[in-house]
């Protein structure tokens, strides 16, 4: 009897371990500030992005010196993949798609009839912020 109880007990523990291991990993968060680089036709433009996810809906902002400030519209964040339209006041919209892998967002975009690539890394909280300092 004791041997049967031990076998059932061990089998139960192994079953529970397999159930836990079989669960899909929680999706990573896209939430927060990112530094982005857009590359198109051999030109590279740095910028900033900020994302806010609400379930699979994604909102946020994007800004580069080339485009100015814009907002994300129709954004989606699902299974570590992002899609959105970046809308600007003085620049054609940018349709982007990408994926989060190993802490880096990367993907493709389309604007002004051309295709390019982009990648972004989380903005470092340790990075010193530029400040206007007055020297005396």
Q: What is the pLDDT of residue 115?
A: 98
Q: Which residues contact 74 (CB under 8 A, 6 or more apart)?
A: 83, 84, 85
Reduce the DSSP state of residue 77 to 3 states and report it. strand
The predicted-structure confidence for 94-113, as pLDDT tens digits, reads as follows: 999 999 999 999 999 999 99
126, exposed or middle or buried, with CB in 10 Å at 0-12, 13-18, 19+?
exposed
- Sketch out the chain's domains with CATH numbers: 32-122 (2.40.128.120)
Residues in the chain: 136
Q: What is the pLDDT of residue 17?
A: 46
Structure-block tokens of residue 132: 């206007």
Q: Which positions of the chain have pLDDT values less than 70? A: 1-27, 125-136
Q: What is the pLDDT of residue 6?
A: 54
Give the β-pairing of 32-40 and 114-122.
Answer: antiparallel
Structure-block tokens of residue 69: 């400030």
Q: What is the pLDDT of residue 124?
A: 74
Q: What is the pLDDT of residue 28?
A: 79
CA angle 97, 103, 106 (to 5 degrees): 25
Q: What is the pLDDT of residue 135?
A: 41
CA contacts within 13 A on the Cβ side of 42: 0
Which DSSP state fits 125?
Answer: T
């Amino acid at each position: 009897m004791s041997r049967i109880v031990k076998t059932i007990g061990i089998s139960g523990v192994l079953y529970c371990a397999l159930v836990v291991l079989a669960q899909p990993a929680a999706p990573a968060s896209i939430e927060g500030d990112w530094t982005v680089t857009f590359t198109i036709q051999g030109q590279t433009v740095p910028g900033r992005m900020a994302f806010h996810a609400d379930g699979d809906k994604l909102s946020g902002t994007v800004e580069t010196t080339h485009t100015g400030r814009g907002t994300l519209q129709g954004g989606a964040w699902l299974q570590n993949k992002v899609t959105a339209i970046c809308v600007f006041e003085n620049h054609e919209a940018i349709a982007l798609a990408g994926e989060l892998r190993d802490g880096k967002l990367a993907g493709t975009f389309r604007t002004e009839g051309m295709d390019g690539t982009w990648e972004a890394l989380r903005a470092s909280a340790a990075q010193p912020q530029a400040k206007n300092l007055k020297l005396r």
